Amino acid sequence: MRAAAFEHFASATCTIAMRIVERRTWSRAGVNIHEYQGKALFKEEGVAVQDGVHCTTVEQALEAYDTLGSKVVAVKSQIHAGGRGKGSLYCPDTGDLMMKGGVKIAFSREEVETYAKNILGNVLVTKQSGPEGKMVNNLYIEAGCEIAHEYYLAILVDREEDAILVMASTEGGMDIEEVAEKTPEAIHKAWADSSGQLPSGAASTMAASLGLTGVSQDSFTDMLGRLVSMFVSRDCSMIEINPLVRSSDGSMIALDSKVSFDDNASFRHPWRAEMRDMSEEEEVEVRANKSGLSYVKLEGNIGCLVNGAGLAMASMDVIKLYGGEPANFLDIGGGANKESITTAFGIILEDPHVEGILVNIFGGIIRCDMVARSIIDASREVGLSVPLVVRFSGTNHVEGRGVLEESSLEVTTVGTLADGAEAIVAAIEEVRA
């Protein structure tokens, strides 16, 4: 079994990582902002966008329509999830369907009012939001645009190439994953160096690959240069525009914006704090972060308490390989103390699906005997009632195991991660039986 575990370790790691990325819109490694906020940044960088107004009430939406002076406007839900246009809006109290589509084109003041009423205060469910959806508290009213063609444009970090990747396609407005699967030749790529410089002629070549000529080609190359510069200067982790449109006069306009930042660089950008929408964040994750914990809820039944992100990933992998399902990613960090460990236990046990807990600690800076005493105190405080398996290694691991074994706490101590995963899966099965 253990040979098989290590044989499949790499693929399992990838699977878990993707689940975490898909589950967590906001993370300590990447922070999202709303479309209207992204477009405000685009404007500052000289990237062409349509005039628009951020609104939080129906009355503001109507005022925006009057102010914009455009007969046709887009009424756009603002949530941190993609696929808004194809989503569905539900009443949060009754669950009744209010409207199909979280992005609507309005041709009159009356339609703006109707759409705004059906969007604000309701829950928008998209393929990226999860079945629970997201409450819509913000709206963006944007002037209409005469569209000649829609394109896709994205800038992100290519970790395999250790470079900034630019991707573009003529298939704008579509799911890029579907395009990549069915017509990969329709996606054109270029790489920039760490200073944000594309190779000479790369932007023009990409424009030509998209079939752009003349004014459109010039407009695209200028926009791309500005966006790559923004990506570097503002420490972005992703910029996505879907669709990027060619207007009737040939100019290129960012008709959408999806921007996320590298949160590790937030200390360089204090202005980001003003853009943070706390209503879009999971309350439990916010609480965990305040205690110095990195937490992501998953769909399984085995709570994980680990120090170190890599070790946490490995712990979840091995749990899966022994037939279990991790209920969370939880990294307590190297500076954990009694208070943060107590908080961690409480957060894990708040999840009604948790049937057992695996603690995996590698003592470096952190001492295993301190963790052991904290586990005992935390278990008493939160009223631990599910099986607990603990694996210690490193600094004072012998002393830590001794503290647990001499206590009155019902706990199983093991020497290896594989033993721990096997033990917690078996313990849960025994309780069920």
DSSP 8-state symbol, 326: B
Residues in a beta bridge with 100: 88
End-to-end Cα separation, the chain, in angstroms: 23
Beta carbons of 123 and 280 less than 8 angstroms apart:
no
DSSP characters over 146-206: -EEEEEEEEEEEETTTTEEEEEEES-TTS-HHHHHHH-GGGEEEEEE-TTSPPPTTHHHHH
Task: Compute the distance between CA of residue 206 and CA of residue 224 in angstroms, rounded to an integer.
Answer: 10
Annotated active-site residue in 115, 140, 151, 152:
152
Q: Which of 142, 171, 240, 422 is catalytic?
A: 240
Q: Indicate the helix (H) or strand (E) that contains 89.
A: strand 88-90
E-only strand ranges, 278-387: 294-297, 302-306, 328-331, 356-363
Q: How far apart are CA 116 and CA 301, in angstroms?
A: 40
Would residue 152 show up in a list of annotated catalytic residues for this protein? yes
Residues labelled as active-site residues = 152, 240
